[in-house]
Homo-oligomer: A and B are copies of this chain.
Amino acid sequence: MNPLENIRVVLVDPKYAGNVGSICRVMMNMGITDLALVAPHKDLDWEEARKLAYSAEDMLGQLKIFKTLEEAVADCTVVAGTSARTGFYRDHAYLPREIAPVVLDSAVHHKAALVFGREDKGLFNEEIAVCTHIINIPSSELYRSLNLSHAVMICCYELFLLANNPSYVPPAECSPEADGKMRERLYETWSAMMLETEFCEKEKLDHMMLGLRRIFSRGKLTVNDARILLGVAKQTRWVAAELERLRTEK
């Protein structure tokens, strides 16, 4: 199958209908047609979107709308989010040209997502946390901030070029990778474990989890990997509960 068909572009809380329309056109130009919006503004001017989608307006009828980013990427293995900022959990950012083989290799057998944030504020920390990879689009110091549709164009262009490069060899499937839904279950269990073992305090948990998400996303996380990590946390929670029980009995 053509891996471009497995790639979903996810726009989180887009404000301007014109951008949504332009992005339909950009995506279709680059052979990518799966578009999802997360919590779009309720007054989005769909007529304006239709105007800018031009001949790609059919895509507006097919797009999916989700309440949360977690739901929009629940079936995706690689989830690459764009960010202009840097910081501890935004480390190890990839250039669009570097992320292209990561996304495309995964898209040969699984769904993969490119995630773009709000026009003004980008992605929030809790949304970045849901991403397995961070993309940083290079731009000039003269003017760092790209229009949303141009950011989408650069990422899709790199994927389109790679997919159409005759020397690109799609990987054979090895062990299946964990999808967004499984990853979120894993992180929930680890969060509970870390509190129950008193490894960290509640107010430091979010920060700690961002670090852990980065560690677990650094390489491919297979379904088997996720099962092992989930098992460790479940068993540890049982141990912590037993300890608590014995303490109470005393």
Contact = CB atoms under 8 A, between A and B. Distances in A.
Given A22-B147, A26-B147, A150-B149, A31 B161 contact: no
Interface string A24-47: 011011110100000000000000
Nearest to A31: B140
A160 interface: yes
A140 B25 contact: no
Interface string A128-157: 000000000011111111110110011001
Contacts of A161: 97, 138
A240 to B, nearest CB: 50
A164 interface: yes
A150 B31 contact: no
Nearest to A144: B29
A157 B154 contact: yes
A150 B26 contact: yes
Interface string A145-177: 111011001100100110010000000000000
A56 interface: yes
Contacts of A150: 22, 25-26, 29, 149-150, 153
Contacts of A147: 22, 25-26, 54
A235 interface: no
A55 interface: yes
Nearest to A32: B140
Given A138-B164, A160-B138, A164-B138, A29 B153 contact: no
Interface string A89-116: 0000000010000000000000000000
A140 B26 contact: no
Nearest to A56: B143
B28 A142 contact: yes
A141 B146 CA distance: 27
A3 B152 CA distance: 26
B149 A29 contact: no
Interface of A: 22, 25-26, 28-31, 33, 54-56, 97, 138-147, 149-150, 153-154, 157, 160-161, 164
9 contacts: A30-B140, A31-B141, A31-B142, A55-B145, A138-B161, A138-B164, A149-B150, A154-B157, A157-B157
